[in-house]
């Protein structure tokens, strides 16, 4: 018997995006306010878990055709490369750089290489969480 | 489509509240972020990602401008000729469009490109009767409308 979970599906379609947006906000806020790559990544994987609860594993794979192994690996590579920038420039490993830029829409913005490192953390957290949940939940 | 636009605007508002930027810039940034998210999750909705449709409307508009230009040049050529060489005719055009507004749009586009005027739509809405000022080949005229305007309109309305 298959229950008609139309209310669940419709609400998920709205709520998923709000959680997604909140995770991006938390991720970007990390430098000056509580938040950062770790919580942001966890929130993002929470959003995907919500999708997994509502739909089944196969549908979610079709919705988001991401190989989480590759995602984790690229996150690690990004973090490592960010740390290596300073080594190539002849300074100590893991030295960060920042500067102020005037971007369209955003105005004067401080861009920091810690952001790239945080992006790596974000990707690794999402990837690892999803690998754990999918390998427990998926029954081959 | 309407649901997707509504959701996108709603997400932009949520972003404004989250990041405390109650300005046009905040709205635009939120809207772009929402657009990106909707694009990532486009398979979740039954209809297409709505930007495809917006793009189809823009293409239809430029197609209309192009045809308007070409057809007007044709009419000017006919008007400048010393002798009348054109051969006016009526012909029936079988349309596949079903919705009322699609047929209206197609008729208006055909009428606004000079050389052809829609004079009547059949009662069952499946045939348009068109008057052309210079008709050499009926099949060719039907094909050219079918391949340009009707195709572009179908592109807009396809779910």
In a domain, A104, yes or no: yes
Burial status of residue A90 (CB atoms within 10 A of its CB: 0-12, 13-18, 19 or more): exposed
In a domain, A1, yes or no: no
Expressed as residue numbers, the domain containing A86 is 6-137
pLDDT band at residue B159 using 50, 70 and 90 as cut-offs: low
Q: Given an 8 Å threshold on Cβ–Cβ distance, is A17 in contact with B41?
A: yes
**Interfacial A residues in 49-108 facing B (CB < 8 Å):** 62-64, 105-107
* Three-state SS sequence of chain B: CHHHHHHHHHHHHHHHHHHCCCCHHHHHHHHHHHHHHHHHCHHHCCCCCHHHHHHHHHHHHHHHHHHHHHHHHHHHHHHHCCCCCCCCEEEEEECCCCCHHHHHHHHHHHHHCCCEEEEEECCCCCEEEEEECCCCCHHHHHHHHHHHHHHHHHHHHCC
- pLDDT single digits (tens) B29-48: 899 999 988 888 888 888 88
Beta strands B116-121; B89-94: pairing state: unpaired
In a domain, A64, yes or no: yes
Interface probe for A, chosen from B6, B7, B14, B18 (most Cβ of A below 10 Å), is B18
In a domain, A46, yes or no: yes
Decide: pTM greater than 0.90. Answer: no
Closest-CA distance of chain A to residue B10, Å = 9
- pLDDT single digits (tens) A28-79: 888 888 888 899 999 999 999 999 888 888 888 888 888 999 999 999 999 9
Q: What is the Cα–Cα distance from A28 to A26, expressed in whole angstroms?
A: 6
What is the per-residue pLDDT for B72?
A: 85
Q: Given an 8 Å threshold on Cβ–Cβ distance, is A64 in contact with B41?
A: yes
In a domain, A86, yes or no: yes
In a domain, A125, yes or no: yes
Higher local confidence (pLDDT), A71 or B125: A71
B40 touching chain A per CB within 8 A: yes
- Count the domains in chain A: 1
Q: What is the Cα–Cα distance from A32 to B95, expressed in whole angstroms?
A: 61
pLDDT band at residue B58 using 50, 70 and 90 as cut-offs: very high
In a domain, A32, yes or no: yes
């Amino acid at each position: 018997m298959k229950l008609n979970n139309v209310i669940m599906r419709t609400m998920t379609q709205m709520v998923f995006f709000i959680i997604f947006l909140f995770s991006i906000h938390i991720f970007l806020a990390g430098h000056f306010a509580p938040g950062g790559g770790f919580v942001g990544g966890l929130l993002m994987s929470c959003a995907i878990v919500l999708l997994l609860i509502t739909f089944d594993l196969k549908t979610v794979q079709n919705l988001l055709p991401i190989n989480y192994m590759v995602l984790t690996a690229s996150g690690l590579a990004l973090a490592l490369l960010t740390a290596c920038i300073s080594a190539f420039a002849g300074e100590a490993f893991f030295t960060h750089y920042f500067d102020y830029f005037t971007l369209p829409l955003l105005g004067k913005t401080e861009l920091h290489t810690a952001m790239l490192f945080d992006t790596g953390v974000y990707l690794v957290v999402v990837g690892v969480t999803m690998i754990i949940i999918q390998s427990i939940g998926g029954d081959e | 489509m309407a649901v997707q636009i509504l959701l996108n605007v709603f997400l932009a508002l949520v972003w404004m509240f989250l990041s405390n930027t109650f300005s046009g810039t905040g709205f635009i940034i939120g809207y772009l972020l929402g657009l990106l998210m909707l694009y990532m999750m486009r398979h979740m909705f039954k209809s297409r990602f709505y930007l495809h449709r917006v793009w189809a409307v823009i293409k239809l508009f430029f197609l209309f401008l192009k045809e308007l230009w070409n057809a007007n040049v044709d009419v000017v050529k006919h008007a400048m000729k010393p002798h009348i060489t054109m051969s006016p005719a009526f012909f029936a055009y079988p349309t596949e469009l079903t919705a009322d507004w699609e047929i209206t749009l197609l008729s208006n586009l055909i009428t606004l490109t000079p050389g052809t005027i829609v004079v009547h739509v059949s009662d069952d809405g499946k045939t348009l009767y068109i008057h052309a000022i210079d008709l050499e080949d009926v099949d060719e005229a039907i094909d050219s409308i079918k391949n340009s305007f009707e195709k572009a309109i179908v592109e807009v309305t396809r779910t």
